[in-house]
Structure 1
Amino acid sequence: MKLGLNFVSVTLLLVLGGCSTAPSVGRGPASISSLGAPSKISQGQADDITIYAVGLVGTPYRYGGNTPDSGFDCSGLIGHVYQSRAGVASPRTVSKLQNWGQPVSSDNIRSGDLVLFAQSDVATHAGIYVGDGRFVHAPSTGGEVRLDRLSSKYWSSQKMAFRRP
């Protein structure tokens, strides 16, 4: 049986994510002082969220979009993934995601947590952390859902915080 590249990539990502260390991050739109955080989702659901989110890479960006057929903006992607894989409804805007769930320290992030980026302490973008210092997000008009590294030049220069629904 021939396995698709996407399945192999997701499997490799999950294996590597379990062995990785958390990236160093600065303070962001919400306090990240807690060492861990309770969650509405189990570890199994977090794994399902991660696999599904990575599988959506390549879906077109669309402002206001919240389905694979219509495309996604960043909060629409998060809402679709959490609802589909964990039955958990998320806020529909990035500004409301900023206070959703519990803050998580960068030392305790896990796959399925949210990563939020801020300017002037106001969240402006969000994605789903998938392990190994990577996150899935819907970045901008004309783009598509993609997998990026938190350590990239652009993202590492942003204020970021992590939250666990």
Structure 2
Amino acid sequence: MKSSLYIFLLFVILFSSFKNKEKEKQIHVHFETNKNQADRDSIVAYAKKYLGTPYVYAGNDPKKGFDCSGFVNYVFKNYGVTLPRSSGEYKNIGTKLNPEEFKVGDILVFYGYKDKTIIGHLGIICEANGMKSKFIHASSGKAQCVTITSLDTEHYTNRFYKCIDVLTK
């Protein structure tokens, strides 16, 4: 009789522990779901946390540094949006937007600095104003870090390929 009671108590303790673990999992999944529903302003605010992070070729780690595609990939991944890791892969994704359709959180795609036939740079619009928009990006230029730049500078206007929305389903 005594051993039956011990087995019963052990079963109750184990079952209670299992139920608590299930509740923890449900809370965690719910949090992940909310995290994925972030708005455009939240994405830009998150991106701005990395202003000044050094430019590092092939970088995608805020502790070491970012390149342009590593930065864009890292920011959107935080919100559950999977994007290509290489800037060249952006040539054929997304729908090209007209300047009056640009929104905060859209991605600007640029040709390379030397070669106007390949994609060479990316940024995230942080202030939408058509071709006068401002964007946050990991710059390999003078800044050598994550910085904010105006699209209407000659350097970027001449290299502009397209703007895409990756958030609207």
Offset of 1:138 from its aligned partner? 0.8
Structure with more contact order per residue of length (Cα contacts < 8 Å, sep ≥ 6): 1
For 1:32-71, list aligned pairs within 5 A: 44-71=38-65
Q: In the TM superposition, what are the counterparts of 1:135-150 in structure 2 within 5 Å?
A: 135-140=135-140, 143-150=144-151
Give the aligned residue type for 1:164.
D
Taking only aligned residues, the RMSD between alpha carbons, in angstroms, comes to 1.9
The residue identity in structure 1 corresponding to 2:86 is T
Partner of 2:134: 134
Deviation, structure 1 residue 107: 1.0
Q: Which runs of 5+ in 2 are unaligned?
A: 1-35
Q: Is the 8 A contact 1:90 1:100 kept in 2?
A: no
Q: Measure, in 2, the Cα distance between the counterparts of 1:151 and 1:160.
A: 13
Alpha-carbon spacing, 1:128–1:49, altered in 2? closer, same or farther (3 Å): same
Q: What is the TM-score with the length of structure 1 in the denominator?
A: 0.68
The Cα of 1:71 is off from its aligned counterpart by 0.6
Deviation for aligned residue 1:122: 2.4
Give per-residue Cα distances to partners, 1:52-83, cap 9 Å, x unaligned: 11221100011111121121000000000001
Cα distance between partner residues in 1 of 2:49 and 2:161: 24
Report what 2:92 is aligned to: 99
Share of identical aligned residues, percent?
30
Q: What secondary structure sits across from 2:39 in the alignment?
A: helix
Letter of the 1:143 counterpart: Q
**Is residue 2:123 matched to residue 1:124?**
no
Q: Which residue of 2 aligns with 1:83?
A: 77
Q: Secondary structure at the match of 2:48?
A: helix
Give 1 or 2: higher helix fraction: 2
Moved more, 51-60 or 150-159: 150-159
Structure 1 gaps of 5+ residues are 1-40
TM-score w.r.t. length of structure 2: 0.66
Specify the alignment match of 1:158 in structure 2.
159
Secondary structure of 1:102's partner? Answer: coil
In the alignment, the residues of structure 1 paired with residue 116 and residue 144 of structure 2 have an alpha-carbon distance, to the nearest angstrom, of 25
Query: Greater Rg, structure 1 or structure 2?
Result: 2
Partner of 1:73 in structure 2?
67
CA contact (8 A) 1:91 1:100 kept: no
- Counterparts of 1:128 and 1:121 in 2: how far apart (Å)? 21
Q: CA deviation at 1:155?
A: 1.5
Q: Tell me, what secondary structure is at the counterpart of 2:82?
A: coil
